[in-house]
């Protein structure tokens, strides 16, 4: 019998109640210093109440300069862990698996929120110095900011910061740690020849450019308990066919190395490294074939994300063995109860649990 969307999935000793994951989505809603607020608790808690198997936080910065905006979540001190603990606890109580995306924004850090324009912020505007593998800044339309090329100490401190962030996340009650190595942020910047001009051991060939993400994955795995899963999110392609860039072949080569470093699932996204990217299409399932390709290349599980909005579509991904998790982003903003509604639509109402408080809604 093939699995479907409502079958549970065991990864190590962690059992996910179904195959739907809430994709990490920045909320730009910290009042100060990366501390979670009641917004995070209600927002993520609602999606857990809505039946998803895994509820993942937004990109959570492992050091202050790794935030995209001043209002992003952080996990660089014990206070951050304390602020996130009630969020993880509520998600767990609702039967979902709480997950955290550990992140560093690299040269794409220090901007304001989308509703303020996503403009780069200089140090005199509440921003900060950004760091990256090379000194090239992200080519914003509004003009260039400065980025400092990381030295050996910076690199070592980033590996340590991911590990320390993971330890705090574990203490806060999270069950899954995801390393964010996609979308043009720091770890992806190391992977891509577009953004990595280093001639030391963290640059140059495939081995050099992939070293940091392999080290970070291993460092997170080292502190994350053996019975709990580690995920890594990758951009499968830079979408820059006219220049030397990170490609699907590279991703397929990296995936098994990440599995060796301790990753249990590769969450397959794409793009984000450069504004010249040409994404061939962005409709339904637009990144699924990349997840399939990665799945063929590694024994690790794969998650598909991007343009998954319909229950039948999500269910078909699992039934046809195209991915192990259906990762749903924007549809979860439209409908926090996506999974409960999907069960209704697919005739699987008896395989999900409405909160007892809401049972009258099912009669
Ligand atoms: C995102 N996305 C995203 N991705 C990520 O890895 N970390 C993040 O913090 C964010 N933040 C974020 C905020 C918002 C408001 C959106 C809409 C998206 C990308 C997201 O996780 C997902 O990969 C894409 O939205 C594609 O999936 P959907 O939306 O088509 O299901």
Pairing of strands 14-16, 9-11: antiparallel
Cα(152) to ligand 1 centroid in Å equals: 31
DSSP string, 219-287: HHHHHS-TTS-EEEEEES----TTSS---HHHHHHHHHHHHHTT-SEEEEE---S-TT---S--STTTT
**CA pair distance 28, 251, nearest whole angstrom:** 29
Ligand 1 atom closest to the CA of 233, numbered from 1: 6
233 lines ligand 1 (CB under 6 A): yes
306 lines ligand 1 (CB under 6 A): yes
- β-bridge partners, 327: 21, 305
CA-based angle 105:302:203, to the nearest 5? 40
284 lines ligand 1 (CB under 6 A): no
Candidate from 21, 25, 333 with most ligand 1 atoms within 8 A of CB, to mutate: 25
**CA pair distance 331, 213, nearest whole angstrom:** 29
Smallest CA-to-CA distance from 323 within 290, 286, 282, 280 is with 290
Cα(327) to ligand 1 centroid in Å equals: 10
pTM exceeds 0.95, yes or no: yes
Pairing of strands 230-235, 265-269: parallel
Ligand 1 atom closest to the CA of 23, numbered from 1: 21
Cα(132) to ligand 1 centroid in Å equals: 22
Segment 235-265, tens digit of pLDDT: 999 999 999 999 999 999 999 999 999 999 9
Domain parsing of the chain, residue ranges: 9-362
Chain centroid to CA 265: 11
- Enumerate the H helices of the chain as residue ranges: 38-49, 78-93, 152-172, 186-191, 206-223, 248-260, 288-297, 311-319, 330-334, 338-345
For 347, other C-beta atoms within 10 Å of its C-beta total 8
CATH of domain 9-362: 3.20.20.70
101 lines ligand 1 (CB under 6 A): yes
Is residue 143 over pLDDT 80? Answer: no
291 lines ligand 1 (CB under 6 A): no
Query: Quick check: 127 and 116 in contact, CB under 8 A?
Result: no
| Side-chain-facing half-sphere of 19: CA atoms under 13 Å | 28
Ligand 1 atom closest to the CA of 307, numbered from 1: 30
40 lines ligand 1 (CB under 6 A): no
Segment 297-330, tens digit of pLDDT: 999 999 999 999 999 999 999 999 999 999 999 9
Residues marked as catalytic: 185
Segment 100-136, tens digit of pLDDT: 999 999 999 999 999 999 999 988 899 999 999 999 9
- What average pLDDT does this structure show over 17-29? 98
| pLDDT band per the 50, 70, 90 thresholds, residue 84 | very high
Per-residue model confidence (pLDDT) at position 362? 87
Segment 86-97, tens digit of pLDDT: 999 999 999 999
């Amino acid at each position: 019998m093939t699995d479907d969307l409502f079958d549970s999935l065991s990864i190590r000793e962690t059992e996910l109640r179904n195959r739907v994951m809430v994709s990490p989505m920045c909320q730009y809603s910290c009042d100060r210093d990366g501390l979670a607020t009641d917004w995070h608790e209600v927002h993520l808690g609602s999606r857990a109440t809505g039946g998803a198997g895994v509820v993942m936080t937004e990109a959570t910065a492992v050091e202050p300069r790794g935030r995209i905006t001043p209002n992003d979540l952080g996990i660089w001190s014990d206070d951050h862990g304390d602020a996130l603990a009630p969020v993880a606890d509520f998600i767990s109580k609702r039967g979902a698996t709480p997950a955290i995306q550990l992140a560093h924004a690299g040269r794409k850090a220090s901007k304001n929120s989308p509703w303020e324009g996503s403009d780069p912020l200089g140090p005199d505007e509440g921003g900060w110095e950004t760091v990256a593998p090379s000194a090239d800044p992200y080519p914003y339309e509004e003009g260039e900011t400065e980025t400092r090329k990381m030295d050996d100490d910076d690199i070592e401190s980033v590996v340590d910061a991911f590990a320390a962030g993971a330890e705090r996340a574990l203490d806060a009650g999270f069950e899954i740690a995801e390393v964010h190595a996609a979308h043009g942020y720091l770890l992806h910047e190391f992977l891509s020849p577009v953004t990595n001009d280093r001639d030391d051991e963290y640059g140059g060939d495939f081995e050099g450019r992939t070293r940091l993400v392999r080290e970070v994955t291993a460092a997170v795995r080292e502190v994350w308990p053996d019975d709990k899963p580690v995920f890594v999110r990758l951009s499968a392609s830079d979408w820059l066919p006219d220049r030397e860039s990170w490609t699907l072949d590279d991703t397929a080569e990296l995936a098994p190395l990440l599995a060796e470093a301790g990753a249990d699932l590769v969450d397959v996204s794409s793009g984000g490294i450069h504004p010249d990217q040409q994404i061939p299409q962005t409709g339904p399932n637009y990144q699924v074939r990349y997840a399939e390709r990665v799945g063929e290349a590694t024994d690790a599980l794969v998650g598909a994300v991007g343009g998954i909005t319909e229950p039948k579509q999500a269910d078909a991904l699992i039934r046809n063995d195209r991915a192990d998790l259906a990762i749903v982003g924007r549809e979860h903003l439209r409908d926090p109860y996506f999974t409960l509604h999907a069960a209704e639509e697919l005739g699987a109402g008896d395989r999900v649990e409405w909160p007892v408080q809401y049972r009258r809604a099912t009669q």
